[in-house]
């Protein structure tokens, strides 16, 4: 499967052992579509060479002098986003792998890598990188007036999902929307729990229009139209209510919903999407356009069993797991399953915790006033504020430093799919 002439896959090898570097180079030299463009002896040298040669694929060792492969991966992933990094290491400890994946690595091969596996991995990731390269070459520079995908604010889509109903998605989504809202950040919450959504109930809002109105005109969504359709919460957060009746859910197709969300991200800094506890085309499409999927678990065995199934599924679908943030809701300070237990069982980092507090949460739902507006001393408030802060930090510096980064400003319609559907 050779690529076009002049478009060979450029590979950088980073390993402190000369023999390993040479062996890999020899193994690749007979592949007509692969060029080894550089070999580095350390993480630091690897970063420099990655900047100089802009490889499609980087083969990265972990244990090296001066800077290890995980740190180098993190820097290369940020500075040369086109480069797809494969960890090639004797370290197969899951903790190392998880850290490498969080740092931005795409794949892992054990050392010495079997020839077939190495070449297939390079080709697969190389093709992905080449496609992004071509896409970038056809785009006007970010920020150019009228550049596709940059006509608006290029906001972040944050969806909230749980494979098990009642985990607290709507509670979290409504409170998070308020916590993210500020003078600088315009926020909209979208009720994409199409049949039994209750964002309107949680925020004590009703309206004549809903998601159905935007979905019906998904190809011609202008700002005026959005403003005339959304409801306004007293906090300033805008609300796109769900379909008025369960039967109306079928009026919103996955493709239309995708267009609606992409239109909204051009007018709002954060688009928070509440979802139903099912996995159909609609939910997969929402994940596909999401910058982060907040996966809500509760600290009990049935919830964790379902979360495990979800992680297994996204692995099969090749959804980058770093976009999924695992959260724990209803955390009981008095004991029970802890975040550490959950991390140990699921092998995923818990990115946020919201404390159990029936009284506060129920009172807030019944009054239609999210608890995050209440005293900071209320048990569940801090967890939501911390999460909002982490999300802001996650996005703000990267946007400024690497505007063309695939996770940032690329036009959503052409952004790499979160799922490689098979
Ligand atoms: N941190 C918490 N402490 C106590 N109760 C909570 C907490 N979070 C949510 N709840 C309660 O759990 C119930 C379900 O919450 P919510 O409706 O937000 O879940 P959901 O995941 O959106 O459910 P659905 O699957 O029905 O959409 C609510 O009655 C709410 O009061
Ligand atoms: Mg809900």
99 and 167 share a domain? no
Least confident of 97-101, 273-277, 412-416: 412-416
pLDDT digits (tens, 9 = 90+) for 9-54: 999 999 999 999 999 999 999 999 999 999 999 999 999 999 999 9
Average per-residue pLDDT in the chain? 88
321 and 409 share a domain? yes
- Identify the pLDDT of residue 65: 86
| The pLDDT of residue 139 is above 70 | no
272 CA distance to ligand 2 centroid (A)? 13
For 95, 127, 297, 309, 338, the CA distances from 345, given in Å and listed in that order, are: 13, 34, 13, 12, 11
* Residue 151 resides in a domain: no
What does 27-68 look like in DSSP terms, one character per residue?
HHTT-TTEEEEEEESSHHHHHHHHHHH--SEEEE-SS-SSS-
* pLDDT tier at 140, thresholds 50, 70, 90: low
pLDDT digits (tens, 9 = 90+) for 198-228: 999 999 999 889 999 999 989 889 888 999 9
* Residue 148 resides in a domain: no
169 and 120 share a domain? no
Q: Which domain holds residue 186?
A: 156-414
402 lines ligand 1 (CB under 6 A): no
* Residue 143 resides in a domain: no
- Identify the pLDDT of residue 144: 44
Give bridge partners of residue 355 from the DSSP assignment. Answer: 331
CATH value at residue 92: 3.40.50.2300
177 and 104 share a domain? no
Helix locations, 380-422, DSSP H: 381-401
Nearest CA to ligand 1 atom 25: 165
Contact status, residue 77 vs residue 99, Cβ threshold 8 Å: no
Closest ligand 1 atom to 166 CA? 23
Is the pTM higher than 0.85? The answer reads no
356 lines ligand 1 (CB under 6 A): yes
* pLDDT tier at 133, thresholds 50, 70, 90: confident
- Identify the pLDDT of residue 4: 44
108 and 171 share a domain? no
Choosing from 103, 138, 173, the residue where a domain stops is 138
SS3 277: coil
Segment 383-388 mean pLDDT:
97
* pLDDT tier at 138, thresholds 50, 70, 90: low
């Amino acid at each position: 499967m050779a690529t076009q002439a002049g478009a060979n896959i450029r590979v950088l090898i980073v390993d402190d052992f000369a023999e390993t570097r040479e062996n890999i180079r020899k193994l690749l030299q007979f592949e007509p579509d692969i060029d080894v463009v550089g070999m580095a002896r350390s993480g630091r040298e690897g970063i420099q060479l990655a900047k100089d040669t802009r490889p499609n694929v980087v083969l990265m060792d972990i244990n090296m002098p001066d800077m290890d492969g995980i740190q180098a991966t993190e820097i290369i992933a940020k500075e040369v986003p086109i480069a797809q990094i494969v960890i090639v290491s004797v370290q197969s400890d899951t903790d190392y792998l998880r850290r490498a994946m969080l740092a931005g690595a795409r794949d892992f091969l054990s050392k010495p890598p079997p020839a077939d596996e190495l070449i297939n991995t390079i080709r697969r990731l190389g093709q992905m990188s080449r496609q992004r390269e071509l896409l970038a070459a056809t785009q006007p520079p970010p920020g150019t007036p009228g550049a596709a995908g940059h006509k608006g604010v290029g906001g972040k889509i944050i969806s909230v999902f749980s494979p098990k109903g009642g985990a607290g998605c709507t509670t979290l989504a409504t409170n998070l929307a308020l916590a993210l809202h500020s003078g600088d950040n315009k926020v909209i919450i979208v009720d994409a729990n199409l049949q039994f959504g209750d964002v309107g109930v949680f925020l004590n809002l009703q309206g004549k229009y809903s998601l159905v109105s935007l979905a019906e005109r998904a190809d011609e969504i202008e700002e005026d139209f959005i403003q005339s359709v959304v409801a306004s919460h007293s906090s300033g957060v805008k609300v796109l209510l769900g379909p008025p009746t369960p039967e109306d859910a079928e009026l919103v197709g996955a493709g239309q919903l995708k267009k609606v969300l992409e239109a909204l991200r051009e007018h709002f800094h954060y688009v928070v999407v509440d979802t139903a506890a099912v996995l159909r085309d609609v939910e997969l499409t929402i994940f596909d356009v999401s910058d982060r999927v907040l996966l809500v678990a509760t600290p009990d065995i049935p919830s964790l069993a379902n979360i495990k199934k979800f992680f297994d599924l996204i692995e099969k679908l090749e959804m980058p797991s770093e976009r999924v943030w695992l959260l724990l809701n209803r955390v009981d300070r008095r004991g029970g399953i802890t975040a550490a237990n959950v991390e140990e069982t699921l092998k995923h980092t818990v990115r946020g915790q919201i404390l159990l507090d029936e009284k506060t949460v129920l009172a807030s739902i019944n009054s239609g006033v999210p608890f995050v507006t209440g005293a900071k001393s209320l048990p569940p408030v801090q967890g939501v504020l911390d999460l909002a802060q982490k999300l802001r930090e996650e996005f703000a510096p990267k946007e400024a430093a690497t505007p063309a980064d695939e996770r940032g400003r690329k036009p959503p319609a052409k952004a790499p799919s979160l799922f490689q559907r098979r």
